Amino acid sequence: MNTKLLKQSEINVAAELLKKGEVVAFPTETVFGLGVIFDNENAYHKLVEAKQRPPKQPFTLMLAFVREIEQYIDVDYKTKKIIEKFMPGPLTIIAPIKRKMSHDITLGTNYIGIRVSNSLFVSNLISLVGKPLLVPSANVHGEPPCISSSEVIKVFNNKISAVIDGVSLSQIPSTIIKVNGKIELIREGAIPFKEILKTSEGSI
């Protein structure tokens, strides 16, 4: 497989590759992501193979717009306040699913991680695809995430379909929280967990 290096102006080419079930890497406001369309089983397995990801770790579902979140997860009052304050942005929320989804997405947990990037390019790309994407960070499992297209080419050349040229902005991964009656920190990243807790309790 020849990995193509695409300019950001070739966003339509990237969207068509994603629609066909290919893996495409692109810059976000955090680090580079590896994206596949969320409802294509072959695409999912290509992503697992490229990432060398353990089979028990689900991938984050990335949406184009905040307004779509409640189609996929249950949002309680505290979660709603967090979404209003921090999304779109460098935050991933793991929450109970609202609709039946394939085993590849939930891995039987009945939870999914949701993210909405504040990168206009990313939201435009997902909009062009017309469906959410599964988007983990662009790295082999256990290695640091790539922050530029040149790094992605070094790691994933001939393993994925395309890389969109660019550099990620903050170069710090998203903060990941899990909401299940309480708010649990999974990984602290660009947003401090204490700020999320303050928001959920209303003391902002």
What value does the mean pLDDT take over residues 69-97? 95
**Strands of 162-164's sheet in order across:** 4-6, 162-164, 24-26, 33-37, 133-134, 61-63, 111-116, 91-96, 175-179, 183-187
The CATH architecture annotation of domain 4-201 reads Alpha-Beta Complex (3.90)
Which pLDDT belongs to residue 100?
A: 77
Is the distance from CB of 191 to CB of 204 less than 8 angstroms?
no
What value does the mean pLDDT take over residues 171-199? 93
Percentage of residues of the chain with pLDDT beyond 70 = 98
Confidence of residue 196 (pLDDT cuts 50, 70, 90): very high
Percentage of residues of the chain with pLDDT beyond 90 = 82
Which pLDDT belongs to residue 122?
A: 97
Confidence of residue 56 (pLDDT cuts 50, 70, 90): confident
Confidence of residue 203 (pLDDT cuts 50, 70, 90): very low
* Residues in contact with 120: Cβ distance below 8 Å, sequence separation at least 6, in sequence order: none
Helix (H) or strand (E) holding 86: helix 77-86
Which pLDDT belongs to residue 99?
A: 75
- What's the gap between Cα 117 and its chain centre? 8
What value does the mean pLDDT take over residues 68-94? 95
Residue 40: both structure tokens together: 């294509």
Reply yes or no on whether the pLDDT at 204 is more than 70: no
What value does the mean pLDDT take over residues 127-141? 95
Which pLDDT belongs to residue 200?
A: 87
What value does the mean pLDDT take over residues 52-75? 91
For the chain, which residues make up each domain, given as ranges? Answer: 4-201
